Amino acid sequence: MTRSVYVTGIDRGDGRQVVELGVMELLTRQVDRVGVFRPLVHHVPDRLFELLRSRYRLSQDPATVYGMDYHEASALQAERGTDELVSTLVDRFHAVARDYDFVLVLGTDFADTQLPDELSLNARLANEFGASVIPVVGGRKQTAESVLAETRNAYRAYENLGCDVLAMITNRVARDDRDEIAQQLRSRLPVPCHVVPDEPALAAPTVSQIAQSLDARVLLGDDSGLARDALGFVFGGAMLPNFLTALTPGCLVVTPGDRADLVVGSLAAHSAGTPPIAGVLLTLDEHPGDEVLTLAARLAPGTPVLSVPGYSFPTAEQLFSLEGKLSAATPRKAETALGLFERYVDTGDLLKRLSAPSSDRVTPMMFEHKLLERARSNMRRIVLPEGTEPRVLHAAEVLLRRDVCDLTLLGPVDRIRKQAADLGIDLGDCRLIDPATSELRDTFAEKYAQLRAHKGVTVELAYDVVSDVNYFGTLMVQEGLADGMVSGSVHSTAATIRPAFEIIKTKPDAGIVSSVFFMCLADKVLVYGDCAVNPDPNAEQLADIAIQSAATAEQFGVEARIAMLSYSTGTSGSGADVDKVREATELVRERRPDLKTEGPIQYDAAVEPSVAATKLPESDVAGQASVLIFPDLNTGNNTYKAVQRSAGAIAVGPVLQGLRKPVNDLSRGALVQDIVNTVAITAIQAQSPAPSHHEKATAQ
């Protein structure tokens, strides 16, 4: 039977979308097919469903998501009664439930609905759907006593109406009251109650949302600038020196369009980072001349400058009535929301209570979720040498908001801050270090000179070498100031991993450093090695790659069944290339008889059961291989890219293996999500690893 959960409320303004997004995040971690149903909707397409669809790659037909609009529901209830309304919505819910393992139901929004006793309607629908209920209570601008009373009353209301209340969530409470409210509710309610504080960045509209609401003209600004949150408003009227002291981080400057001095002054302050602003809004349908706008564009590239026809006062009234909304167009707000949900909700307990059926399939989304979850469970310190690269900064924002790891960014600190300000990114507690001016440079130079003395490296030469961000980052890892490093979005593979070869070096039981890609297919994850480092490994090295790859696979939850790939299967072929693979297979079996290993074997026989049944019917690997070892870099690199492009697989990696401490390389075409995934993998590698086979044997 399909399971379902009904997220509902008691009034408008509870910020329930944060909870709905968080619950969907939990479900997609372990359920393959999750459906969405909103019984009543104001507008189609629905903003939240569009966010869920884009973020979680939902294939559900939008036409099946919505029961009916509020006007239709109101008319049906008035004409034929509540029973008929509920019956119709139940039929439409079950039409969705038939096709999914779990359904997330988005309750009514208590806003302009013209429906009497909306709470009772939500409760009845949940009961008729057979759905458990998570009521959300909004606590914004309320006293602690008021929040406590309202939460307890909401629980009683839904319980008295026969609902199976899984947990209560009290949202948007004052940060100073959060701990006290949580403690009080723990002793007063029989179900878990999670208390989430108010987050200004979620309530803040983006500059793009302001432009759309005010029908403003965009005179300057790019997509990154328009995505910034307007955390406050500063109205320009004073002379420039006094005006500059009023600016606050993330504010939107509102000024008459003829005040060119305030426009230029605001953007100059932003460029200097004192402070970074969200943008400038000009009133009176006036704006400075082309010369000033050209100067403005050069002072703060990408920073939005908007223009509206109205006076400042009515414009201010409109601005103060706006509130930020989660949508597919605000992915950064979604990351903020999820970070908040995961920090203040016991997600492990809630997932257990949801009783979501675990899927045998492992989808790309599930694999990515598990990476973040494991990294978050034991946070590590990761250094990112490419601190001025926009993709790295966007990834850093995601990692920080989701509490995946602690971060250090390397590069000129002023440039990093300015780039972050231009992108509207809050780096929070991220540590910033400029290797060229860091007090660590002298110490690192001495250390590097000692390590490379046999190559004639002096302290003077080392002083220049360690100013390179990749060498500096690698030395941070070596000296225990960071637990892992990720680089390569703008540097070559050689520039990223050469310092690791020189400084960190290989593990005792690793003959060489090699790599794997996690290939996330539609229903499983395969491990490909080595597709990035070793051009033409010999049999000894190939065996080492196979053993390392099996260990990496198992570290990330993939049961290792090794296929040593060749252009022939079993004893059907001969020649130097096949003989190399055959010898490597025997070496793996000698060294690790506990591993399931097959080779030589062709790719189709390794992964397709019907082919395996013909070519190697007695094999316990053929047809179900999970770790595929390629005979050379040419074959491996081309195969992973072919599968990635033609099968739509997500390729996570390359993940380096064999080093004493984790350093990982990125493709120079890496997307923000690729960087996030690779950092999470590096953090997991840096967590206390299981003893290697060599270490186990030594201990015995």
Encode pLDDT of 108-132 as tens digits.
Answer: 887 666 677 888 889 999 999 989 9
Q: What is the pTM of this model?
A: 0.80
Strand ranges of the sheet holding 168-173, from the earlier edge strand across to the other edge: 66-69, 34-41, 102-106, 3-9, 132-138, 168-173, 193-197
Please compute the mean of the pLDDT values over residues 655-677 and round it to a whole number.
Answer: 89
Residue 464: Cβ-neighbour burial (10 angstroms; 0-12, 13-18, 19+): exposed
- What is the tens place of the pLDDT at every residue in 486-517? 999 999 888 988 999 899 988 887 788 899 99
Higher pLDDT, 360 or 623: 623
- What is the tens place of the pLDDT at every residue in 168-198? 999 999 999 999 999 999 888 999 999 999 9
Neighbouring C-alpha atoms within 13 Å toward the C-beta of 486: 37
CA distances from 276 to 206, 247, 304, 408, 419 (A): 15, 9, 12, 21, 10
Least confident residue range of 15-19, 555-559, 604-608: 555-559
Please compute the mean of the pLDDT values over residues 196-223 and round it to a whole number.
Answer: 91
536 — phi, psi (to 5°)? Answer: -150, 75
Predicted pLDDT of residue 75: 87
* Domains, in order of start, for the chain: 3-198 (3.40.50.300), 205-321 (3.40.1390.20), 361-503 (3.40.50.10950), 514-658 (3.40.50.10750)
Predicted pLDDT of residue 469: 95
Neighbouring C-alpha atoms within 13 Å toward the C-beta of 106: 27
CB 180 within 8 A of CB 144: yes
Q: Which residues pair with 688 in a beta bridge?
A: none
Q: Tokens 């039929």 — which residue? A: 91
pLDDT above 60 for 206 = yes
Predicted pLDDT of residue 43: 82
Spatial CB neighbours of 260, under 8 Å, sequence gap ≥ 6? 288, 289, 292
Rounding to the nearest 10 degrees, give the CA dihedral for residues 314, 317, 323, 328.
Answer: 0
DSSP-derived 3-state class of residue 644: helix
CA distances from 39 to 89, 323, 443, 487, 642 (A): 6, 25, 64, 47, 43
Please compute the mean of the pLDDT values over residues 450-476 and round it to a whole number.
Answer: 91
The per-residue pLDDT of the chain, averaged, comes to 88
Q: Tokens 């399939």 — which residue? A: 361
CB 356 within 8 A of CB 3: yes
**β-bridge pairing 217-220 and 305-307:** antiparallel
| The pair of three-digit structure tokens given for residue 118, joined into one six-digit string | 């909306």
- What is the tens place of the pLDDT at every residue in 128-159? 998 999 999 998 889 999 999 999 999 999 99
Q: Where are the beta strands (DSSP E) in 186-291?
A: 193-197, 217-220, 232-235, 251-256, 279-283
Predicted pLDDT of residue 694: 45
Helices 331-344, 47-55: axis angle to 10 degrees equals 80
pLDDT above 90 for 698 = no
Predicted pLDDT of residue 699: 35
In percent, how much of the chain has pLDDT > 70?
96
Please compute the mean of the pLDDT values over residues 637-659 and round it to a whole number.
Answer: 87
Predicted pLDDT of residue 518: 92
Q: Which residues pair with 527 in a beta bridge?
A: 518, 627
Return the exposure string of 61-79: e unless at least 16 CB atoms fall within 10 Å of the residue's CB, then b: eeeebbbbebeebbebbee
pLDDT above 50 for 640 = yes
Q: How far is it, in rounded angstroms, from Cα 224 to Cα 661?
A: 35
216 — phi, psi (to 5°)? Answer: -85, 150
CA distances from 42 to 68, 73, 92, 119 (A): 9, 11, 17, 17
Please compute the mean of the pLDDT values over residues 204-209 and round it to a whole number.
Answer: 92
Q: How far is it, in rounded angstroms, from Cα 89 to Cα 107?
A: 12
Q: How far is it, in rounded angstroms, from Cα 32 to Cα 35?
A: 10
Predicted pLDDT of residue 572: 67
Predicted pLDDT of residue 692: 46
- The residue type of 569 is T
- What is the tens place of the pLDDT at every residue in 383-410? 999 999 999 999 999 999 888 999 999 9
DSSP-derived 3-state class of residue 576: helix
Smallest CA-to-CA distance from 158 within 107, 87, 91, 104 is with 107
pLDDT above 70 for 361 = no
Smallest CA-to-CA distance from 689 within 559, 556, 591, 517 is with 556
CA distances from 640 to 118, 123, 445, 625 (A): 53, 50, 39, 15
* Sequence-ordered alpha helix ranges (H) in 217-274: 223-226, 240-246, 260-272
pLDDT confidence bin for 648, thresholds 50/70/90: confident
Please compute the mean of the pLDDT values over residues 192-220 and round it to a whole number.
Answer: 92
- What is the tens place of the pLDDT at every residue in 250-297? 899 999 988 999 999 999 988 887 888 999 999 988 888 888 899 989
pLDDT above 50 for 697 = no
Please compute the mean of the pLDDT values over residues 561-573 and round it to a whole number.
Answer: 84
Predicted pLDDT of residue 360: 63
380 — phi, psi (to 5°)? Answer: -115, 170
Neighbouring C-alpha atoms within 13 Å toward the C-beta of 39: 30
Predicted pLDDT of residue 695: 43
Residue 687 backbone zone (phi > 0: left; psi -120 to 50: alpha; other: beta):
beta
Q: How far is it, in rounded angstroms, from Cα 118 to Cα 82?
A: 11
What is residue 175's DSSP assignment? G
| The pair of three-digit structure tokens given for residue 695, joined into one six-digit string | 């270490």
DSSP-derived 3-state class of residue 515: strand
Q: How far is it, in rounded angstroms, from Cα 90 to Cα 170?
A: 28
